[in-house]
Amino acid sequence: MIKERYEQKGASALASSSPIDQTAILNENIDFIMNALDLDSFSIRHTDEEGVDPNFVETTVPLVPMMSFLPQRVTKRESHKRPNLQCNVTLWRYKDSVWGDRKVISCNSPFEENIQLADGDLFHLEADNKITVTSGSEKIDIGQTIVYKANVPE
């Protein structure tokens, strides 16, 4: 391979360094490279960096960048993390469980047709997909829609 390059390019094929800054050229064209190769990310590594495969160091020559495609890493996510609550949420039900969500809401008082649910209220899903709420000793049909209000502290 080196002999063929020497025959084509002469003594410049034996050079151990590049006459141009290849890293700068790659960084300038980063968007094109990522789109053309359909990459999520890529990194530029030099042969003198620690942890580079010795095979790359031996086979890489100036002006001929070496590409190595790695499989995607699978990241482990914490599934039991408790999110930090940034707001208080209150739940509301419509006064009319059948037609309440079909009425036009007033911009000045959007919760006029709603009743706030208490913190101790329990939701029940009946056998016929009917949703009810037990508030104290009263069992109330809430229909298919509930409304929530997020109070974000400033």
pLDDT over 80 at 64, yes or no: no
pLDDT band at 75 (very low <50, low <70, confident <90, very high): low
27 lies in a domain?
Answer: yes
Residue 119: inside a domain, yes or no?
Answer: yes
pLDDT for residue 145 is more than 80: yes
Residue among 149, 25, 130 nearest 89 (CA) = 149
pLDDT tens digits for 10-55?
766 556 666 778 788 888 988 888 888 888 778 887 777 888 788 8
- Classify residue 70: in a domain, yes or no: no
Name which residue leads in pLDDT, 70 or 98: 98
The Cα 142–Cα 133 span in angstroms is: 7
Q: How far is CA 81 from the centre of its chain?
A: 17
Which H or E run contains 144? none
Residues 101 and 147 in one domain: yes
Which pLDDT value is given to residue 35?
86
Place of tokens 């009425």: 103
User: Pseudo-torsion of CA 32, 33, 37, 43, nearest 10°?
Assistant: -140
**Cα–Cα distance between 140 and 83 in angstroms, integer?**
31
Q: What is the pLDDT of residue 116?
A: 92
Residue 122 has pLDDT above 80, yes or no: yes
The pLDDT > 90 percentage for the chain reads 5
Residue 35 lies in a domain: yes
Give me the chain's average pLDDT, please: 80
Confidence (pLDDT) at 153:
76
Q: Which domain-ending residue is among 14, 44, 59? A: 59
> How many domains in the chain?
2
**Within a domain: residue 71?**
no
Contact 101, 93 (CB under 8 A): no
Range of the domain at 54: 2-59
Which pLDDT tens digit goes with each residue over 86-109? 788 899 999 888 888 888 888 888
Q: Which residues contact 26 (CB under 8 A, 6 or more apart)?
A: 33, 44, 65
